[in-house]
Amino acid sequence: MFSSQALKKLLIPLVIEQILAMLVGMTDTLMVSAAGEAAVSGVALVDMVNYLVITVLTAVATGGAVIVSQYLGGSQKENAEKSAGQLLLISALISLAIMALCLLFRHHLLRLLFGTVEEDVMDASITYFTITACSFPFLGIYNASAALFRSMSKTNMTMVVSLLMNAINIVGDFIGVQLLHAGVAGVAVPTLISRAVAAVLMTLLALKQSNLIILRARNIFAWKQELLGKILRIAVPNGIENGLFALGRVIVTSIVSSFGTAQIAANGVANSIDQIAIIVVNAVNLAVITVVGQCVGAGLPEQAQSYTKKLMKISYLSTGILGVCVCALLPVILNFYNLSDETLRYAAILVVMHNILAFALHPTSFNLANSLRAAGDVNFTMFVGICSMLLFRLGSAVLFGIVLDLGIIGVWIAMGMDWLARSAAFLLRYRSGKWRLMRSI
Judged against a pLDDT cut of 90, whether residue 31 lies above it is answered with no
User: Distance of CA 383 to CAs 254, 338, 339, 361, Å?
Assistant: 24, 42, 40, 19
pLDDT for 29 beyond 80: no
Percent with pLDDT over 70 in the chain: 99
Where would I find the H helices in 153-300? 155-173, 185-206, 217-220, 225-256, 261-273, 279-297
Report for 182-191, 315-324, 381-390: range of highest mean pLDDT: 315-324
Phi, psi of 110 (to 5 degrees): -65, -35
Report which residue type is found at 269. Answer: V
Helices (H), 274-397: 279-297, 301-334, 341-362, 368-374, 378-388, 395-396
The span from the CA of 43 to the CA of 131, in Å, is 12
* pLDDT given at position 432: 93
What average pLDDT score do residues 148-156 get?
A: 89
State the average pLDDT over residues 285-289.
Answer: 91
pLDDT digits (tens, 9 = 90+) for 226-266: 888 888 888 888 888 877 777 777 788 778 878 888 888 88
Q: Are 32 and 40 in contact (CB under 8 A)?
A: yes
pLDDT at 351: 94
- Please compute the mean of the pLDDT values over residues 333-342 and round it to a whole number: 84
Nearest to 357 by CA among 292, 427, 278: 278
Express each pLDDT in 101-135 by its tens digit.
Answer: 999 999 888 888 787 777 888 888 899 999 999 99
413 pLDDT higher than 90: yes
Q: What are phi and psi of 149, to 5 degrees?
A: -65, -35
Residues 6+ apart with CB under 8 A from 357: 415, 416, 419
Q: How many helices (H) and strands (E) does the chain have?
A: 18, 0
Q: How confident is the model at residue 192 (pLDDT cuts 50, 70, 90)?
A: very high
How many other C-beta atoms are found inside a 10 Å radius of the C-beta of residue 440?
Answer: 22
Let me know the angle formed at the C-alpha of 110 by 104 and 116, rounded to the nearest 5 degrees.
155
Measured CA to CA in angstroms, residue 55 lies from 47, 50, 189, 245, 406 at distances of 12, 8, 21, 9, 28
Burial class of residue 431 (count of CB atoms within 10 Å of its CB; 0-12, 13-18, 19+): exposed
Other Cβ atoms within 10 Å of 202 Cβ, number: 25
What is the rounded distance in angstroms from the CA atom of residue 169 to the CA atom of residue 192?
9
Confidence bin at 414 (pLDDT 50/70/90): very high
CB 386 within 8 A of CB 240: yes
Indicate whether 300 pLDDT > 80: yes
Tell me how far apart the alpha carbons of residues 162 and 194 are, in angstroms, rounded to a whole number. 9
Residue pair 168/190 in contact by the 8 Å Cβ criterion: yes
